[in-house]
Amino acid sequence: MVTAPLVLGIETSCDETGAGLVRGHELLADAVASSVDEHARFGGVVPEVASRAHLEAMVPAVDRALAKAGAKLSDVDAIAVTAGPGLAGALLVGVCAAKAYSLALGKPVYGVNHLAAHIAVDQLEHGRLPVPAVALLVSGGHSSLLLVSDLPGELVPLGATIDDAAGEAYDKVARLLGLPFPGGPPIDAAAKAGDPAAVGFPRGKYRDQTFDFSFSGLKTAVARWVEAREAAGLAVPVADVAASFQEAVADVLTRKAVDACLASGVDQLVIGGGVAANSRLRALAQQRCEAAGIKLRVPRPGLCTDNGAMVAALGSELVARGVPPSSLDFPADSAMPVTAVVAA
């Protein structure tokens, strides 16, 4: 029996330094070092702080992953690294590290697309992704719908955010409600004690016959509602506001995702990205997919957020398909289009 190549994945697109080891579709190790605490006092990610944190965490993260997998660096057969999209300085740290490992080991390196990696990671939990499928990717920087005709081959954009991404809206609303950064987990937690129908917040681009998203108006509506409440000398019911806001986000995301599946004649939906860890989004997606006869695939929460495992998963697929590796002069591309799965 031929053993699948061992692929090291490196992720540094934002504020998590991730190192993962994958063999085939088997996850052997996933080490993540987050700098979120260093950004919390600013209420958002500071690119220079993130870049410096990646520099400090890179080698220890790779060493932890190797130790967990019981492997040596010399056992690695290929390296995959996020080439984009993301923060330019943060991406550069990972890309330079991956190239250094590649040169030192004499192994091929693949510069891969962050969004495609969020799709590929699902295969570590649920096996090969049946295609065609629709992918809903939701995070702090992205809210996208993609038609996956082949992975890691053709990804066709169906829709994207025209302003704030869903995760960005979570962070801004959390700040309005006095909740900590990042906003996703504390809003999700607060919403469990609230009434999702307490406030009728707007659903941007809800039935506009496109698959695009808009969350800027929702964020503004929450801000105006809170301001009016405070101006009247009334307490802000944080749990109710959190639940109502979260319901508006989940409602739009899941409705458009199901509509995209139906319009594309596809019965497979995969959801990825940090916001995919949200409990209400997962529950409502399951409910609507079952009603529409669509099979839903969502990785466990730990694989939804940025990590090295997802990069290694995509790299493993590229190696298995015989895709040529990237040249050693490939750039870090902060605006890398989703149609470019691997850097040439």
Residue among 33, 36, 34, 4 nearest 21 (CA): 4
Predicted local confidence at residue 153, as pLDDT: 79
Q: Which domains does the chain have, with CATH numbers?
A: 6-120+307-320 (3.30.420.40), 130-299 (3.30.420.40)
Q: Taking a C-beta distance cutoff of 8 angstroms, is the pair 32, 14 a contact?
A: no
**Does the pLDDT at position 2 exceed 70?**
no
**Does the pLDDT at position 171 exceed 90?**
yes
> Could you tell me the pTM of the whole model?
0.95
CA distance 104 to 211: 45
Give the least confident one: 138-152, 180-194, 317-331: 138-152
**Does the pLDDT at position 151 exceed 90?**
no
Report residue 3's pLDDT band, with 50, 70 and 90 as the boundaries: confident
Residue among 299, 265, 260 nearest 282 (CA): 299
**Does the pLDDT at position 52 exceed 70?**
yes
Residue among 104, 103, 107 nearest 79 (CA): 107
Report residue 1's pLDDT band, with 50, 70 and 90 as the boundaries: low
Report residue 207's pLDDT band, with 50, 70 and 90 as the boundaries: confident
Task: Take residue 9 and report the two structure tokens written for it.
Answer: 């994945």
- Mean pLDDT for the chain overall: 95
